[in-house]
Structure 1
């Protein structure tokens, strides 16, 4: 516009097209065309004001030729426009037109209409967010290198990145998974790394943090809510499908992948994390950041005092799980079994697992706590949770039987010890049965029955019960207990001859003959 206005001004002053060309304002041919156009619009009058730029631009713009071509998609323009507003790809629009309307046109027609519709839409406008010191941090996961897992198989690692939104100083840790327990542990180590807590943490809608994604009313994972409450920060999830709201950490993850990971070798996960921490302090923290134009560590020195202090006692972070009580009175977590009261069999409980303990809740009522199991297949059982009959059975173990027999007497103890010393059969039930006769018959009779059974070398439950039921122990007590039976001793089946054969009857005297 400046050249055209200068040329018009020189023309009003009487300069020729050659003079304008020699002044290198524009060429002679272009000057001649411009002179004719100015005369047609009445701009050559030196007394009239110069036209403004908009009038000059309108005069220079060639008239648009009316298009006589009508798109074969014109009848579907409204539908295509609605799909474009929903960000549906052009290929999907082409397939939908063929499938739903039987349209047989080419994809080029769809592409031209989509381009025209998008050109008429208002442009997307964004604005950069500024954060005060200590106001916010942003968190995200990124794919890391593949390393050998302790189970002996190669596995993908994941980079957990927390970036302070003001200083851009970051915490970087590589982990094996994205579970809730890992998510909480990374948060704890991150705030300890910063030695402070930001006002809020901006996250995406990962399942380890948000159970229901929603722009207005997201549902926070229960364990993560406890973490936020314990450390005193607010959770700020991004709207679904809008990761630009945490663009700072997105750029940080990209920086880790492009600057830290290439051309490095890692022995294991510990070596990977050691190199990552050194890189954060020596490289990432010392660089001139592309946005702030200052080193992140220099800004962090100003931001760190403005972070909220860590709690005096670190909160006990735990994960929540819904578990069912099986008929064996146990619930399962990570293939480890934990007992629950038998009255809750068939019900669904809440299980809260920390590094050291596992707690069970029926709604909000605490019902049990166990130490955390260490290996799959382990069974952690509290005997008080079992049914009464099972408690009674497990309570009457081998030591219990011996202790009860000692209280009855030495003969009962000897019989119980012989039962439990059997090398072939497990005779714990027999020992429990013998001691069960204590209640109906009393200690004195049970001791006597055991003595009689041992005397007959028949230490069996059936023998003792038969002696008591037939009162053989009472009959033996009425006899002379000081005189040992004739068959006592090593020869238990021998008898004196006097008992085996009756004494001969003397022959009568012959009567006198009369």
Structure 2
């Protein structure tokens, strides 16, 4: 029996191959082949799990299969099949098991099959990536390095940030420069990347930056609402990388470094006054990078993308995503929210509530518990403007807002001609402010009195006085109401005479009715 572990332990301790051969009784050729195989596979240390049986299978899997009667898998074919969409290692193991049993051979158990495939794929990971399938992922990030452009007006240098998107399978990339790293730039970069690729991947893998992820919370991160809307529009999903885990998006990390060397460094001395001109230069260099041949695999990024990956991308939506931004606001006591020093009304019932605000280019939408409660055209220009809808106001506020001479005349016309005459008199004989205050008090009486009572009182006061006032009008209303109530209850006071006194003349004396 070959003692693989002991041979390697002695070799790692600096013992010569001649001494190892003499000590363990194995030929020098056997010792030499084991040491060379371990070095070619990068095995430089041993752990407790590295038993003789494990080492034999790891170093010489083909010998193990022949010696024990196991059916040897075609690892090259397994690796190629695994790159196809919806193909899993479990499925390939089932197919391998069927072929082995049909040939009268013993198949590997799934655990051993997966372990041996892992050893095989590890040797070729530089040229044959694992777990990357066409059209499955787009990794996105901001490059750490920046460029600058010169402001023509002020002559100052403006920093420019570089957005990078990469498809891991083909390494085909998209790069664009922006003047900031705000949400609108982040979303625009995605839209332009989709249009450059002429398709959409199944998932997006961003870093945990605030424009993409509000809060990294383990396996359930809180995605920025505008970013989530973009993913919903293009029918893809967002799977953020873990915090401080750059290996979760290795392709874009590698591309960022490559872009920094091949594009950013190359344009460091380029004199530019316009972001569009800079992006033309970037796209020119990016095109050359995508067409450059691979060193360790056939083709280029562009050829692999066009021939193997492009057809797997989801089709673009016919309409481009409309950029939006989400904010959180508190409804103030004046039932308005403040957005960029502009004020927008919401129904007064939501005072002191926390609401979510969706901002697009020309529209403001306010949501409470996923229900839209208000929308306004976006205010532009001088700060401090108010957009207020009457239906958002309490009744007394709305009445005050709508209280004008014209509205008072309209109200009086609905009451009757006498009321209209009285309103015209008040407007004519008092200052505007005093008249409106009187009319506000007058109009508030509709909560206590019917239209007919108001019109009758107006008729009474116009007959009785040439200078009607609201206070006298209220007195007449009270008196009329009492009189009507007394008549209905038959308690109206009547004049009675005492016939014991002869000098008292009653109604009969004057011809009145009995």
- Bin of the TM-score, shorter chain as denominator length: 0.5 to 0.7
Cα shift at 1:393: 1.1
Q: Is the 8 A contact 2:204 2:239 kept in 1?
A: yes
RMSD value, Cα: 4.5
For these two proteins, the number of residue pairs brought into alignment is 352
| Cα distance change, pair 50–437 in 1 and its aligned pair in 2 (3 A) | closer
Cα shift at 1:352: 3.1
1:343 counterpart (331, 343, 349): 349
**Rg bigger for which structure?**
1
1:384 counterpart (382, 391, 415): 391
Asked if 1:206 corresponds to 2:206, the answer is no
Aligned to 2:11: none
Aligned to 1:284: 289
Aligned to 1:193: 196
- Return the alpha-carbon distance in structure 1 between the equivalents of residues 353 and 153 of structure 2: 35
Aligned to 1:120: none
The TM-score with structure 2 as length reference comes to 0.56
- Return the alpha-carbon distance in structure 1 between the equivalents of residues 392 and 153 of structure 2: 35
Match of 2:398, SS state, is: helix
Q: Is the 8 A contact 1:415 1:450 kept in 2?
A: no
| Cα distance change, pair 125–430 in 1 and its aligned pair in 2 (3 A) | farther
Q: Per-residue displacement from partner, 1:54-100 (whole Å, max 9, x unpaired)?
A: 69xx9xxxxxxxxxxxxxxxxxxxxxxxxxxxxxxxxxxxxxxxxxx
2:302 counterpart (287, 294, 297): 297
- Return the alpha-carbon distance in structure 2 between the equivalents of residues 402 and 386 of structure 1: 23
Cα shift at 1:308: 0.8
Asked if 1:140 corresponds to 2:147, the answer is no
- Return the alpha-carbon distance in structure 1 between the equivalents of residues 375 and 332 of structure 2: 17
Give structure 1 regions of 4+ aligned residues with deviation exceeding 6 angstroms: 148-153, 437-441, 447-453
Q: Is the 8 A contact 2:342 2:386 kept in 1?
A: yes
Task: Please list every run of 5 or more consecutive structure 1 residues that lacks an aligned counterpart in the other structure.
Answer: 1-37, 44-48, 59-123, 457-462, 472-514
Cα shift at 1:328: 1.0
| Cα distance change, pair 470–229 in 1 and its aligned pair in 2 (3 A) | closer
The answer to which of 210-219 and 306-315 deviates more is: 210-219
Aligned to 1:309: 315
Match of 2:165, SS state, is: strand
Cα shift at 1:141: 0.6
- Return the alpha-carbon distance in structure 1 between the equivalents of residues 429 and 141 of structure 2: 66
Q: Is the 8 A contact 1:230 1:315 kept in 2?
A: yes
Instruction: Report matched runs for 1:490-505 at 5 Å.
Output: none
Q: Per-residue displacement from partner, 1:24-68 (whole Å, max 9, x unpaired)?
A: xxxxxxxxxxxxxx9x99x9xxxxx9956969xx9xxxxxxxxxx
Instruction: Report matched runs for 1:353-502 at 5 Å.
Output: 353-375=359-381, 376-404=383-411, 411=421, 414-415=424-425, 418=428, 428-433=436-441, 442-443=454-455, 446=458, 464-465=469-470, 468=473
| Cα distance change, pair 402–154 in 1 and its aligned pair in 2 (3 A) | farther
Match of 1:238, SS state, is: coil
1:253 counterpart (242, 251, 256): 256
Task: Please list every run of 5 or more consecutive structure 2 residues that lacks an aligned counterpart in the other structure.
Answer: 1-15, 36-121, 477-514
Cα shift at 1:140: 0.7
